[in-house]
Chains A and B, each alone.
Chain A
Amino acid sequence: MDWLEQELKNGLARKEPPPGFADRVLRRVGHRAQSPVWRHSRWLAAAAAVVMITGGAAWREHQGHVAKEQVMLAFRIAAVKVNQIQAHIQEATR
């Protein structure tokens, strides 16, 4: 075993955490979860999700109404033309 191998073995060797380490970590996590910043960012994320969902639905609704108006306009134009042609035919056969 050369010196490098020995160094790595020492460096990566399993070490027990100092006493009270787990308690300190849990305390900090609990503190972070209760902090107003953390609470607000969760509310912000929820609000952003609501805005995105309702905004998407409103946009879809708007697109639907635009499509509907286009369809009605298309039928208006087509029906007017067919009516005009029918009128010409009826006039001609009178």
Chain B
Amino acid sequence: MTAFRALALVAAAAVLLPAQQLKFNLDYLAAKASDSVDLSLNGATLQFAARFLSSKDADESKVKKMIASLDGIYIRTFEFKDTGGWSPADLEGVRQQLRGAEWSRIVGVKSGQEGENAEIYVRSENKKIDGVAILVSGPKELTIVNIVGPVDLDSLASLGGHLGIPKVEIAKHK
């Protein structure tokens, strides 16, 4: 009976747990940060929000289409006034989770000048992408994004120039 109860509790917890693929408990950094954002949007919240996104507005319509197949978006960003607000150990806990077989790093950028590191990982199951993790860290910044569900990075990037985001134009190869 006890075993059955334990099983029932585990099953209930699995149902109640958000679909977040990465755990990043970095609340302690918020106290040191000058700015921080904590967004935990599960599938139900996304679908609820979708009802309020206009199909007539170009930006909102794009976002509406993108979230239709998503199960969650989890974001933590921290901005610090000075360097040293966060330590590599803070990020290590997240990186460790990304070493699992289901995750693969598709982009890794290290900017020597600005001291910025950026990585994009994709999670796949049965040869289908079902999640993305974006880690961006700089001397005064730390951002972790986990988008759960089939993500089209091109569509995400194409939002540049929209949503009030300036499009980064880089001269092409000559």
- Residue positions of A touching B, CB distance < 8 A: 63-65, 67-68, 70-94
Q: In the assembled complex, which residues on chain A have CB atoms less than 8 Å from the CB atom of B118?
A: 81, 84-85, 88
Q: In the assembled complex, which residues on chain B have CB atoms less than 8 Å from the CB atom of A71?
A: 41, 45-46, 49-50, 53, 63, 67, 73
Q: B1 within 8 Å of A by Cβ?
A: no
> What are 15 sample pairs from A and B whose C-beta atoms fall under 8 A apart?
A64-B51, A67-B45, A67-B48, A68-B49, A71-B41, A75-B159, A77-B39, A78-B147, A79-B156, A81-B145, A84-B118, A87-B168, A88-B111, A89-B107, A90-B170
B168 to A84, Cβ gap below 8 A?
yes
B52 to A82, Cβ gap below 8 A?
no
A17 to B60, CA, bound (A): 74
Q: In the assembled complex, which residues on chain A have CB atoms less than 8 Å from the CB atom of B101?
A: none
**Closest partner residue, chain A, to B159 (CB atom):** A79
Proximity string of chain B (144-158) to chain A, C-beta cutoff 8 Å, 1 when within and 0 when not: 010100000100110
Q: In the assembled complex, which residues on chain A have CB atoms less than 8 Å from the CB atom of B160?
A: 79-80, 82-83
A81 to B134, Cβ gap below 8 A?
yes
- Residue positions of B touching A, CB distance < 8 A: 37, 39, 41, 45-46, 48-53, 59-60, 63, 66-67, 73, 75, 77, 107, 109, 111, 116, 118, 120, 134, 136, 143, 145, 147, 153, 156-157, 159-160, 162-165, 167-168, 170-171, 173
Q: In the assembled complex, which residues on chain B have CB atoms less than 8 Å from the CB atom of A82?
A: 120, 134, 153, 156-157, 160
Q: What's the A-B contact tally at a CB cutoff of 8 Å?
A: 112
A65 to B59, CA, bound (A): 15
B37 to A77, Cβ gap below 8 A?
yes
**Closest partner residue, chain A, to B53 (CB atom):** A68
Counting chain A CB atoms within 10 Å of each CB, the highest count among B66, B156, B171 belongs to B156
Q: How far is the CB of A45 from chain B (nearest CB, A)?
A: 31
User: Of the candidates A68, A74, A80, which one forms a contact with B73 in the assembled complex, judged by CB atoms under 8 Å apart?
Assistant: A74
B75 to A78, Cβ gap below 8 A?
yes
Counting chain A CB atoms within 10 Å of each CB, the highest count among B52, B60, B134, B156 belongs to B52
Q: In the assembled complex, which residues on chain A have CB atoms less than 8 Å from the CB atom of B48?
A: 63-64, 67
**Closest partner residue, chain A, to B164 (CB atom):** A76
**Closest partner residue, chain A, to B67 (CB atom):** A71
